[in-house]
Amino acid sequence: MADEDFWAKVRNLPDLERTPGDPGGMAGPTDRGTGAGRVVPPGPAPADGGTSPQQQQQQRRFGSSPWWRRTAIALAVLLFGLPALGLVYGWWRYRGLERVAVSEVLTPASGGSRTILVVGSDSREGLDADRPDAGALLASPVSGQRADTILLIRIDGRGVAFLSLPRDLWLPISGRGGSQRINTAYVNGPEQLIATVQESLGVPVNSYMEIDFSGFDSLVDAAGGVTIDFPYPASDANSGLLVETAGPVRLDGVQALAYVRSRHYTEIVDGRPRVDGTGDLGRTARQQVLVANLVDELAATRNPLALDRAVRGVTAAVRVDDRLGLFDLLGIARRLAGNDPEQFALPVRPHTTSGGAAVLLLGDGAQEVLDRFR
């Protein structure tokens, strides 16, 4: 009876009021047409780079299936799985979610609409250098924490929309009196990043979620590992990645983290090493492959014990703001699972700072895209 009462409340969560479609001139999603809504890569790849057969396969696979959409749907499935395993169990696991004290800088949600800031963090704080995956987390000499991935999710009467913000976006950082890369706003904590998004981009942030890569390996292990099809043997001495054979390889959490964090990805082709010259573009493509495969395996999970392990992995790796309630979370999950999100990209243009740093500035059509998230 308790479970029935719980699901009755979930089913009766108010639907957002439908509003007319986008006004004329609104940028469309990235998988439609061209213009302000088209995908804009974060700067050109190095001249000596190139696209490997693996990356071409990744691009074909994910052209119509954004990885963040798949991730959100997977989390939605897991969140809805909580009460399915029992109301008391679901509440217990929800209470186990770590909270981030950012309510003072969040904008209260109104009218049934909500904008969520999702951050993938590469925090090094308190990291044990002797842990097996330390190479992946300490592969670059960055202290403290930075936002490795920044995503906006908008839920309103028009549906669900996603917008990725490039890490190299150059804009005024709240409280600093000058412009820097947006991912540096996270160094002093999520409050400054939230304030920067609200002040410099004009996008109100109503909710906040965070995934810490230092807990990513535990999430993969909780799912029982993940399988990646490698076209060639691959390695990265900096991140600790070592795959000695081509073909499907089952990665544990340590190797999965080394794979997604690899910045010096090297394949052995015809007995010769070939370094991936596409930088962060190649790394992002590899992240898409792993997340999509992990999502597929989680979605196919029917074993309650395996589902419990996956839920525990999510609660260990994910933090949410201190204002988000259980039914807020379930409402978000319901909308994510029940809609096909529109994927937007922020139009940007390359720029070189006075100090010689290669960064990105807002380009033509950026405000039209940002309007969709305001």
Structure tokens at 83: 């009460």
Average pLDDT over residues 25-29: 34
Full residue range of the structural domain in which residue 327 is found? 99-372
Residue 146 near residue 249, CB atoms below 8 Å: no
CATH of the domain at 194: 3.40.630.190
| The pLDDT value given to residue 299 | 62
Helix or strand holding residue 366 (H, E): helix 366-371
In a domain, 268, yes or no: yes
Torsion angle of alpha carbons 210, 212, 213, 217, nearest 10°? Answer: -110
Count CA atoms closer than 13 A to 217's CA, side-chain side: 17
Helix or strand holding residue 230 (H, E): strand 226-230
| CA–CA distance, 64 with 38 (Å, rounded to integer) | 13
Question: Cα angle vertex 56, ends 54, 62, to 5°?
Answer: 100
In a domain, 365, yes or no: yes
Q: What 3-state DSSP class applies to 180? A: strand
Average pLDDT over residues 79-88: 53
Residue 27 near residue 40, CB atoms below 8 Å: no
Residue 236 near residue 268, CB atoms below 8 Å: no
Structure tokens at 341: 């999100």
In a domain, 106, yes or no: yes
Nearest alpha carbon to residue 211 among 194, 195, 190: 190
- Confidence class for position 33, pLDDT limits 50, 70, 90: very low
Total-model pTM? 0.64
Q: C-alpha distances in angstroms, 231 versus 192, 238, 321?
A: 42, 21, 41
> Who has greater pLDDT, 31 or 142?
142
Q: What 3-state DSSP class applies to 277? A: coil
Rounded to 5 degrees, φ, ψ at 20 are -60, 160
Task: For strands 241-243 and 234-236, give the pairing.
Answer: antiparallel
The total of structural domains in the chain comes to 1
Instruction: Transcribe 295-345 into DSSP letters.
Output: HHHHHT---HHHHHHHHHHHHHHEEEETT--HHHHHHHHHHHHHS--EEEE
Q: What 3-state DSSP class applies to 82? A: helix
Residue 246 near residue 233, CB atoms below 8 Å: yes
In a domain, 363, yes or no: yes
Work out the widest C-alpha separation in the chain, in whole angstroms: 66
Written as one letter, the residue type at 292 is A
In a domain, 38, yes or no: no
Write the pLDDT tens digit of every residue in 53-80.
444 444 433 344 445 555 555 555 555 5
In a domain, 315, yes or no: yes
> Who has greater pLDDT, 164 or 37?
164
| The pLDDT value given to residue 111 | 84
Write the pLDDT tens digit of every residue in 94-115.
788 899 999 999 999 988 899 9
pLDDT at 46 over 50: no
Rounded to 5 degrees, φ, ψ at 246 are -80, 160
Write the pLDDT tens digit of every residue in 187-215.
889 999 999 999 999 999 999 998 877 77
Q: Which of 8-17, 74-83, 153-162, 326-335 has the lowest mean pLDDT?
A: 8-17
| The pLDDT value given to residue 198 | 98
Q: Which letter, b or e, does each residue of 12-35 get, where b requires 16 or more Cβ atoms within 10 Å of its Cβ?
A: eeeebeeeeeeeeeebbbbeeeee
In a domain, 2, yes or no: no
In a domain, 58, yes or no: no
Write the pLDDT tens digit of every residue in 216-275.
787 788 778 999 999 999 999 998 999 999 999 999 999 998 998 888 999 999 999 999
| The pLDDT value given to residue 114 | 96
Length of the chain: 374
